């Protein structure tokens, strides 16, 4: 099948198919005498795998590793399992960071309610660190 048909059946654009070929994720297809790419059903299955792997958060480099293992005839599931656990740890870390950011934004939003916009000197006071009671009192 030609690239347009492969794109239509896979839901991947022709541009993306060419990019993935250039990145080594998809084997170079045979060419017709007139130079058109001619893909087989294996290319369609591989594109489906790549899309699912991307949906799971795997990078193209990680997908390339999985495909390389699979292309040698070895099972790739152990490697995929490791990647999934790494991705889960990354997601958990990012969720913690997002919670911290949300807490800070909540604090700043509360601070903004009490801030007179006309009385804002220099940089926005909402974003300035707040002095504690000990810092603002002077020792006699």
pLDDT of residue 139: 54
At residue 138 the predicted structure's pLDDT band, cuts being 50, 70 and 90, is low
DSSP 63-115: HHHHHHHHHTT---HHHHHHHHHHHHHHHHHHHHHHHHHHHHHHHHHHHHHH-
Residues 6+ apart with CB under 8 A from 2: 36, 37, 38, 39
124 within domain boundaries? no
Within a domain: 130: no
Q: Is the pLDDT of residue 136 over 60?
A: no
pLDDT at 49: 97
pLDDT of residue 111: 87
Give how many domains the chain has, as a whole number.
Answer: 1
CATH number at residue 51: 1.10.1660.10
Q: Over 70: is that where the pLDDT of 140 sits?
A: no
> Which residues lie across from 38 on neighbouring strands?
30
Half-sphere exposure of 123 (CA within 13 A, CB side): 4
Which of 16-20, 28-32, 82-86 shows the lowest mean pLDDT across its residues?
28-32
In a domain, 32, yes or no: yes
On the question of pLDDT at 36 being above 70, the answer is yes
pLDDT at 133 over 80: no
φ, ψ of residue 30 to 5 degrees: the values are -70, 155
132 found inside a domain:
no
Q: Give me the domain span that covers residue 89.
A: 3-115
Residue 134 domain-assigned (yes or no): no
Work out the average pLDDT over 99-127: 86
In a domain, 74, yes or no: yes
pLDDT digits (tens, 9 = 90+) for 117-132: 777 777 787 887 776 5
Q: Round to whole Å and give the CA distance between 63 and 61.
A: 5
pLDDT surpasses 90 at 85: yes
What is the per-residue pLDDT for 54? Answer: 96
Please report whether residue 137 resides in a domain.
no
Put simply, whether the predicted model's pTM sits higher than 0.85 gets the answer no
């Amino acid at each position: 099948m030609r690239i347009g048909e492969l794109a239509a059946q896979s839901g991947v654009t022709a541009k993306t198919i060419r990019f993935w070929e250039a990145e080594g994720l998809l084997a170079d297809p045979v060419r017709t005498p007139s130079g058109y790419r001619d893909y087989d059903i294996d290319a369609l299955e591989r594109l489906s795998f790549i899309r699912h792997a991307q949906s799971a958060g795997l990078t193209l480099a990680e997908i390339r590793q999985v495909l390389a293992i699979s292309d040698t005839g070895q099972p790739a599931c152990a490697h995929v399992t490791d990647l999934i656990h790494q991705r889960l740890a990354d997601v958990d870390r990012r969720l913690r960071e997002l919670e911290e950011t949300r807490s800070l934004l909540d604090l700043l939003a509360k601070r903004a309610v009490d801030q007179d916009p006309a009385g804002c000197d220099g940089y926005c006071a909402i974003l300035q660190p707040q002095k504690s009671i000990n810092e603002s009192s002077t020792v006699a």
